[in-house]
Amino acid sequence: MFKNLICIIRVFKTYPSQVCIKIFVFLTFGLFLILFFLINAILYKSVFSFALSALGFILGFYIIWAIVPQIKLPFQSKVWKGIDLLDSDILLTFDDAPSKYTNQILDVLDINNIKAIFFVIGQNCLHYPDKVKEIISRGHVIGCHGMWHKKYLFSSKSFIQKDIKECMRILSQNFKISPNLFRSPHGFRNFYLANIIGLFDMVHLSWHRGFWDTDPNVSTEELILRAKEITKGEILLFHDGIDTVLDPNRSNFLTIFPNIINMLQNKGFSFADPRIFIKHLN
């Protein structure tokens, strides 16, 4: 439990300040309601108020668990991976691939002899099939990111199955690959997701530090500051594209990404090869 609390704090520290404020307001309001009904239940011996406070606590816990994929409970399925798997290396991962800018990212990685994991959206693969082939041909690892990039927080079991199945079908039929890595859109999950991922013989790869590089309010200076806080053994989350947007504005990130890589190398960090890394997941 203590380890999960540290994990939550560590993850929230990587969030932009405006996001942290929204989360704080949400959690404070939720806690106020829970305490209100709990006090009411104690003072007036109201079973209804006690039930509401218990329901609020359960719902609050569920939402935190669902939106922070780094949390791992003792009874949780083995498909949730990504914490404490790296020793001294840094692992690069990219969500929302491919995009019209994929080759520019690949060029930076090639120059620095770095391999990464690209979590692809099925819909984007249909728009940019050549980019997917380029990722594969340059020796990087493909992971599944769903078909339509919809949040799973309150999604039905049938929708999640269809979302993953469609993406896997496209990857199999069009590119002759069957990924064993999955990352849910935004990292959100629900109680159905683990079993569904298992049916496709995949594991969910989480991350330690996200850069929020798709947020237009995050400046290049802030991205550099985030890079300076990186420590050894972290799985980093960047983005190739933005959701399923066909022509996203990635100028800030593409400008600063080579500098981030150079900074990490100058600090003595090495980059894990995902092809070797995934062998330790099963």
For residue range 43-96, list pLDDT tens digits in order: 777 777 777 777 777 777 777 777 777 666 655 555 555 555 555 689 999 999
For residue 58, tell me if it sits in a domain.
Answer: yes
Identify the domain boundary among 33, 67, 101: 67
Question: How far is the C-alpha of 128 from the C-alpha of 122, rounded, in Å?
Answer: 10
Condensed to tens digits (0 to 9), the pLDDT of residues 112-155 reads 999 999 999 999 999 999 999 999 999 999 999 999 999 998 89
For residue 75, tell me if it sits in a domain.
Answer: no
pLDDT of residue 263: 94
Residue bearing the bigger pLDDT, 122 or 35:
122
Domain at 86, CATH number: 3.20.20.370
Amino acid of residue 138: R
On the 0-12 / 13-18 / 19+ scale of CB atoms within 10 A, 150 is: middle
Structural domain tally of the chain? 2
Q: Tokens representing 218? A: 């995050």
Phi, psi (rounded to 5 degrees) for 146: 85, 170
For residue 206, tell me if it sits in a domain.
Answer: yes
For residue 8, tell me if it sits in a domain.
Answer: yes
Least confident among 55-59, 177-181, 197-201, 241-245: 55-59
Contact 27, 5 (CB under 8 A): no
Question: How far is the C-alpha of 164 from the C-alpha of 208, rounded, in Å?
Answer: 23
pLDDT of residue 9: 63
Same domain, 149 and 260: yes
For residue 259, tell me if it sits in a domain.
Answer: yes
Identify the domain boundary among 38, 67, 96: 67
Same domain, 155 and 223: yes
Same domain, 126 and 262: yes
Question: How far is the C-alpha of 192 from the C-alpha of 214, rounded, in Å?
Answer: 28
* Helix axes of 17-44 and 47-67: crossing angle, nearest 10 degrees: 160
The range of the structural domain enclosing residue 121 comes to 80-280
Q: What is the three-class DSSP state of 236?
A: strand
| Chain position carrying tokens 């599944």 | 144
Secondary structure percentages of the chain, helix, strand, coil, to 5: 50, 10, 35
Question: How far is the C-alpha of 57 from the C-alpha of 86, rounded, in Å?
Answer: 34
pLDDT of residue 73: 62
Q: How confident is the model at residue 277 (pLDDT cuts 50, 70, 90)?
A: confident
Average pLDDT over residues 237-252: 90
Same domain, 155 and 273: yes
Same domain, 18 and 105: no
For residue 13, tell me if it sits in a domain.
Answer: yes
Question: How far is the C-alpha of 191 from the C-alpha of 32, rounded, in Å?
Answer: 26
pLDDT of residue 236: 93
Mean pLDDT, rounded, of the chain = 85
Same domain, 217 and 98: yes
Same domain, 179 and 217: yes
Same domain, 121 and 55: no
Question: How far is the C-alpha of 30 from the C-alpha of 59, rounded, in Å?
Answer: 9
Task: Decide if pLDDT at 171 tops 90.
Answer: yes
Residue bearing the bigger pLDDT, 217 or 205:
205
Average pLDDT over residues 183-190: 91
H/E element holding 129? helix 129-137
Closest of 142, 115, 108 to residue 128, by C-alpha = 142
Question: How far is the C-alpha of 120 from the C-alpha of 146, rounded, in Å?
Answer: 7
On the 0-12 / 13-18 / 19+ scale of CB atoms within 10 A, 4 is: middle
For residue 203, tell me if it sits in a domain.
Answer: yes
Same domain, 175 and 209: yes
pLDDT of residue 5: 61
Same domain, 170 and 100: yes
Identify the domain boundary among 23, 40, 67: 67
Same domain, 59 and 94: no
Residue bearing the bigger pLDDT, 37 or 170:
170
Same domain, 62 and 188: no
Task: Decide if pLDDT at 19 tops 70.
Answer: no
Give the length of the chain.
Answer: 282
For residue 74, tell me if it sits in a domain.
Answer: no
